Amino acid sequence: MTLEDLKLTIRDVPDFPSKGIMFRDLTTLIKNGDALQLMSKELAALYRDKGVTKVVGIESRGFIGGSILAYELGCGFVPARKPGKLPSVTIKKAYAKEYGVDTIELHSDSITSDDVVVLHDDLLATGGTMNACYELVKSMNPKKIYINFIVELTDLDGRKNLPADCEITSLLKY
């Protein structure tokens, strides 16, 4: 199985969540054992020699690949959650979405100045959520931040909304 074969395991769902949207459903990739193993190995290969100490996974689908990546790298996993979901002291960042404002939170003690962090989400569309997560993690002054996605929708040009000084990787591009 190759990276191009991974694309074949992703289900296209037309008109979801609204008319005119082609939703890339990664649940069909992760239910396939061979595809999940290849995705895991390829994600880890991107960061194996970069000294990563924490992976931040963005709620909720980013928890899947992010946890796998943290396990493969032998480092910690930090969940980036919607408001009110984390039980201890948090820091938060609000950001604009198509139809309003949303917020992302981290535990205030989850990242230190000694950390090298990979921010992970399943899919890059417009980049708003990831940029908010980046700003939140950056405020905690880690040594280095990387950004990673399993899938990138290149026609939406989400990279333009992400920091230019940060290495951004995607396993698959549409």
Give the tens place of pLDDT for each residue, 16-75.
Answer: 989 999 999 999 999 999 999 999 999 999 999 999 999 999 999 999 999 999 999 999
Contacts of residue 57, defined as CB under 8 A and 6 or more positions apart, other chains included, come to 63, 64, 65, 66, 67, 70, 77, 78, 79, 80, 120, 121
**Is 42 in the active site?**
no
Give the tens place of pLDDT for each residue, 109-121.
Answer: 999 999 999 999 9
For residue 174, the model assigns a pLDDT of 95
pLDDT band at 99 (very low <50, low <70, confident <90, very high): confident
For residue 139, the model assigns a pLDDT of 98
- As a CATH number, domain 50-173 is 3.40.50.2020
Write down the domain spans for the chain. Answer: 50-173
3-state SS assignment for residue 139: coil
Catalytic residue among 4, 11, 59, 61: 61
- pTM of the entire structure? 0.96
Give the tens place of pLDDT for each residue, 122-144.
Answer: 999 999 999 999 999 999 999 99
**Is 48 in the active site?**
no
The answer to whether the CB of 101 falls within 8 A of the CB of 75 is no
- Could you tell me whether strands 168-173 and 144-152 are parallel, antiparallel, or unpaired per DSSP bridges? parallel
Mean pLDDT of the chain: 96
The answer to whether the CB of 128 falls within 8 A of the CB of 161 is yes
Two structure tokens written together for 115: 């950390």
Beta bridge partners of 96: 101
For residue 100, the model assigns a pLDDT of 82
pLDDT band at 97 (very low <50, low <70, confident <90, very high): confident
For residue 9, the model assigns a pLDDT of 98
Region 63-90: what's the mean pLDDT?
98
